Every structure is written in C-alpha cells, then in structure tokens.
Chains A and B, each alone.
Chain A
Amino acid sequence: MGRQGTQALKTLLSVQGLRIRLPTAAGLVTVVDGIDYEVEAGQVFGIAGESGSGKTISVLALLGLLPDGAHVEGRAMFDGRDLLQLNRRSMRDVRGVEIAMVFQDPMTSLHPMMTIERQLTEHVRYHLGVSESKARERAVELLREVRIPDPAGALAAYPHQFSGGMRQRIAIAIALACRPRVLIADEPTTALDVTVQAGILHLLDSLRSQSGLSVLMITHDLGVMSSIADWLTVMYAGRVVESGRTGDVLGHPRHPYTAGLLAALPHPEAAEDTALRSIPGAPPSPQSRPDGCPFHPRCPYVQDSCRRDVPALASIDAGRRLACPIDPLAVAV
C-alpha cells in the first residue's frame, strides 16, 4: 500500500474558505459554508458526508461546473493558480487535463452511442494534439492500465456491452487519458456490487501508489474511505465537522456526528444481534439549517452554547481538526 510515502509531501490543491450559494426559488441558499482542506500529491483525500451535506457541490466548484447564478467565495489554489478565478478558456485547459473527474453512475457518464475508442481519444487529440494512431495506442494502454480484458477489442465496443464495473473502469481510463495530477472521484463505487467495488478500490489504490496520482474521493461510505483514503474530512450541513488521518478519524472519532455515523453502520466484526444505533432525526436541508452548530438538534451531548455559536474548525492534534468546542469524546489521557 502506498500510504505515507517517504518522499516529502507536497500540497497540490489547497481550498480555503470555500463558500457556495446557489439560487433557488426562495433566493440564494448557502450550500457550502466555508470549508478548508489541502490535498497532497500521491494521496487519496476523502470527503465524507450524507446526501445534501454539500460534498459534491464543493468539488464541482473546483472545475467550474456549478449552475449559472451560483455565488462562490474563497480560494482554491492549484499549481499557483486560483481555480475559482479562472476564465472559461483557462479552465478548459485544467478540467479533464490536470484535474479529471469520475462520476457515480457509469451508465450515464459514458455516451451510449459512441464507441469506447471515440470516447477515449477525442479529448486526448484535442488537448494533447496527438495523431489518431498515437491516440489509439494510448487508448489501448489506458484500458490495459485499468485492467479491461482484450483492450484492443474493447475499443470498437459500446458502453452497453460492458458490465457496471467494467464501465466504471472505462470511465476511469477516460479520466486518466491526459495524465491528470488530480482525479476527483464522486461516489465511484456506490452504484456497484461489493465484489466489483473491491476491484475498483484495488485499482485506485494501485494508481495512487504506482503513478503518484492524487485522488479526491467523495463518498458517504465510511467503509470505502477506511480502505483507501489517507486523509478524511467529514462534512455535515455544508461545513467540515472533523478531519484528520483516516485511521485516526475512524479509529477514534471525536465529533459526535462522526461517532454517530460509525455506530449506525453494520460492522462485520460487531457481535450479532446488536441493534444498529441510529442518529435521531434527519440532516437539515440547506434552506432550514439551524443556528449555532448545525448538528446540535441531533447531538446527544448538546449544551446551550451549541445552539448559539457556530463552532470553528480548530486544530486538536497533529493534522487533526475538529469543529466541536465541547469535544465530549476526547480520550482522557
């Protein structure tokens, strides 16, 4: 496994104070409310959270893929440039080239009526200006890299001729075609069966360790995070509630939300017949987020101050940050 490599780690992408407001019928609604994180080269950086927590919107902003009328504040520094300030033209040279993306559902992210060859070579020829035969060679190489059997034969096929897992491998191959430095993967295994999911996780893990690719992984599945992410950020209602090394965050969750989410999961090694402990209530919608800490209505440790003050994300340990001043789960040493 390629964790904690020996080479000096370099910050590749640094997001600071990202705040996103989207237009709705009721006016602008704050969907992402000031988040910070840093992605280092050759690492898998995970953003976890339930539906509506703002995790997907926060990465779409990096690629300039937000709907018209969206208000974005903050900075996203990548290679000396602020991604949030790029104009359309410069963004086109980043998106799909230096930062590529893989989506949840390979059924809809691949074009059903184009051959795999066309989908794998079109952008390579445009961005890298290579010849048709060179692009084709590269396509075969990519399919081999993502372990598609018979890569040359696969080029002439259409997406429907592949299973879900194979389609997701092809989507990853397309994303990798221009040799990006960052791959954003939004729930890349959620639509897949567990045995197929495990194959994709192995693939992402080897891409990271062999080619030094950074992966920004978004998923609600903490099991998937545990197996592949080096760093983990947990989002709730548009804010980061906790972040740190994955082993630390999942091994010793400090935020009551992270702890609650872990307790709600079926754990393969838990005693049988243990009822799953669910978090009472449901996450708030962006239109009706509560005052103070967004988690306070569901938090078992709530105090008066939680209803009033929005907790800041503070450093508590090396690389570990927590947005809960009460810190009820701190381990007494």
Chain B
Amino acid sequence: MSLLELRDVEVEYRRAGRAPVRAVAGASLAVEAGQVVGLVGETGCGKSTLARAAVGLQATTAGSVWFEGRRLLPLRRRARSRRDARLQMVFQNPFSSLNPRRRVGQQIADAMGILGLVPAGRRSARVAELLDQVGLPAIAAQRFPHQYSGGQRQRIAIARALAAEPSVIVLDEPLSSLDASAQAQVANLLKGLARELHVGLLLISHDLAIVRHIADVVAVMYLGLVVETAPTRRLWRSPMHPYTEALIEAIPRADGSGWLPEALPGEVPDPAQPPAGCRFHPRCPYAFDRCRTESPPLIDVAQGRGVACWLHSPGAEEKSPSVFATRTRAASAVGDQVDGV
C-alpha cells in the first residue's frame, strides 16, 4: 500500500440557494516514499481542494484518504494525532504562511516541541541542521521572515514542514510566487529532499513545465477529474489526453524563435454545471458523438499509465491524439468564433 492514497475522493461545496459545486468529482492518487507526484491543472480544476482533502483540511463528500495504512480523518477541533503529523503541508505564499512576528528558529522548532521529537536542549542544533538542509545559514534562526526574499521564505516554510519529520509533504503551488532563478533553486531543493530523505511529495502546480523537472509521476486534472496519469517522461513525450496535449502546446518557449503557443479554445466551464459526457468535450478538437453523451472512465492503457478519453482503449499504444486522431474542428475555432460576426 502506498504511503498516501486517495481513493475516489469527491468534495462538494454546498452553497445557500444555489446548486452545489462538486470541486473534486472522484479522483484517485497515490504517493510512495521518495516519490514526487505532480498534480497539474488550471485554475478551478479542483487541485487545491484535492490537496486540502489529502491532508484532512477539507472533509471529503465521498471516497477516502489513507495515510501510512490508516484512514485519515478530516481535521476537527481536536489536535491532530501524532501519527498524522507525519503528513505535512507547504502553502503557496510564504509571505502569509510564516508568522511575521516570530523568529525563524522559533517557528521551525515548534513542531519539535509539540510532537516531542527533540529535547529542548538539542532543538537549536536541529534547527541549524534543517536550515542547512534547505540551503540557509544557521544565523537565519535568529532572524525574522521579512529579512528574507520569497525564495528564501519558501525554504524556511519547507524547513518548518521537515521539522515534524514527515513521511509525506503536500505542497500547494510552492513555486508560483517565485521569480525564475528562485523557482529553479527551490525546485532543485525539493527533488533533492525527496531523494535524500526519502520523503514522498505531492506537488500541486499549474505549471506543467516546472513539474516536469521535479516529478516522477504526473496526474493531470480537468474540472474535478483526473484525466491522465503517467510517468513524467512518457507523459511529456506522448500526452494521450487531448487536454494534456493542449497544455503542453500552450507553453511558451524562451528560445527566441518567435513561435506563438497554441491557445485552447473556450473556457473552463462552471464546475456547478459540468458539460454532459466528457467534461472536456466542448473544448476538445477531436470530440465525436460518444464524447457528448458518455463520460469516459480513467482506464489503464499501458503499464503505469491511465487516461480518461474515448480515443484510447485498454492496452492501447502510447500515442498522442495529434498523431492518429482527426481534428473535428480547427484548434482555435471556438476562441475566434466572433471573428466572423
């Protein structure tokens, strides 16, 4: 069994007087020790909700979360059990996730005291060790978060999570508030931590390009559902879901070639009223009749690969839609529909 496992998780937000929103509509994921799992998707796809459900910050409506072989229950008023503290989280914005009025060392040492992991006399040595692990000098313990840049603050937040001696860390967009060079530093740090400390990482991001450099496995989410999972290299080489393909084609390349990335037509639909059939069909260039009525299940196509798309059947070859399928409409038809008006 995996260290962290999400089985058919559904999360529904109820709203007074309006239809409930199923932010996560049945998603499964697994994180092993020392593995980096990237969860990728665009705004509103439910990835942050899934991350919060994975650590128990959000109650699930259906399905279950399993951590170290036991059912993880959503956090309530009572303190979380010590065992569950081995599941940690790092948030997007290190400007708001760190306490501005407490010294960095105090914040990192908190977990050691609360969980009784390190006796008081040895805590400062352990803080120095953790700071070193994330590439900061020991003197940082004496300072305040405002004395550090965004990238350095994110390192502090990671050190704080590591203080609880976690087996799995869930990171919600840990890189998106950072500049390019700081982003590369933190990305390399995360990959190193997974390898050296054998910690499992669930990395939530909207940026497939950066996830590719860190994650061993990638899951792509669209409108509350996981539409494709695959080892990173194979996903990148031959994205099997049309949405994954579109995501990769939309990434601009800083090579000076002047190549304009492809736009995906249309908009992400309202999750309260998802389209019938496949949720991606209104924007899919390959959609055919079946896609409009029947929702495709996530099927295993090849070893370690799953895809939810009617273009593929179990045991299918690993091929991208653009290689074998015919486009039923031009890629940018919907986006430019008002041109002809």
Contact = CB atoms under 8 A, between A and B. Distances in A.
A278 B152 CA distance: 14
A1 B232 CA distance: 33
A266 to B, nearest CB: 4
Interface stretch (A121-129, A179-187, A194-202, A318-326): A194-202
B189 to A, nearest CB: 9
Nearest to B248: A268
B69 interface: no
Given A275-B191, A278-B184, A147 B335 contact: yes
Interface string B251-284: 1111111111111100110000000000000000
A226 B256 contact: yes
B213 A226 contact: no
Interface stretch (B8-16, B94-102, B174-182, B300-308): B174-182
A223 interface: yes
A248 B182 CA distance: 25
Contacts of A265: 180, 184, 209, 254
Interface in A1-21: 1, 3
Most chain B beta-carbon contacts within 10 A, residue among A247, A275, A278? A278
Contacts of B42: 193-196
Contacts of B179: 50-51, 220, 283
A198 B258 contact: no
A279 B181 contact: yes
Contact of B181 (A148, A196, A278): A278
Interface stretch (A27-35, A63-71, A256-264): A256-264
A251 B254 CA distance: 8
A79 to B, nearest CB: 29
B330 interface: no
A119 interface: no
A147 B267 CA distance: 13
Given A195-B250, A227-B252, A277-B184, A247 B206 contact: no
A332 interface: no
Contact of A227 (B182, B210, B246, B258): B258
Interface residues of B, number: 53
A194 B261 CA distance: 9
B314 to A, nearest CB: 26
A111 interface: no
A275 B213 contact: yes
A148 B252 contact: no
Contacts of B188: 275-276, 278
Nearest to A247: B256
A297 interface: no
Contact of B258 (A51, A246, A277): A246
B246 A195 contact: yes
A272 B254 contact: no
B236 interface: yes
A36 interface: no
A223 B253 contact: yes
Interface string A268-301: 1100111111110011000000000000000000
Given A264-B184, A275-B191, A247 B251 contact: no
B339 interface: yes
B181 A226 contact: no
B327 interface: no
Most chain A beta-carbon contacts within 10 A, residue among B180, B261, B332? B180
Interface string A209-244: 000000000001111111110000000000000000
Contacts, number: 163
Most chain B beta-carbon contacts within 10 A, residue among A196, A199, A246, A251? A199
A75 B286 CA distance: 54
A289 B257 CA distance: 34
Chain A interface size range: 35 or more
A193 B252 CA distance: 12
B206 A193 contact: yes
Contact of B256 (A250, A268, A277): A250
Contacts of B255: 226, 250-251, 267, 269
Interface in B288-338: 332, 335-338
Interface in A90-119: none
B181 A198 contact: no
Interface in B201-232: 206-210, 212-213, 232
B149 interface: yes
Contacts of A248: 256
Contact of A250 (B43, B151, B251, B254): B254
B209 A268 contact: yes
Most chain A beta-carbon contacts within 10 A, residue among B187, B256, B339? B256
B341 interface: yes
A151 B257 contact: no
A274 B254 contact: no
B247 interface: yes
Contacts of B124: none
Nearest to A164: B43
> Which 5 pairs, one residue from A and one from B, show the smallest C-beta to C-beta distance?
A250-B256, A223-B252, A195-B264, A278-B184, A276-B184
17 contacts: A163-B267, A163-B268, A194-B206, A194-B208, A194-B261, A221-B254, A226-B256, A227-B261, A251-B257, A261-B181, A265-B184, A266-B210, A272-B232, A275-B191, A275-B213, A278-B181, A283-B149
Given A264-B181, A273-B233, A282-B182, 12 more contacts: A147-B338, A148-B338, A165-B267, A166-B267, A195-B246, A198-B250, A220-B179, A223-B254, A226-B256, A246-B256, A264-B183, A267-B253
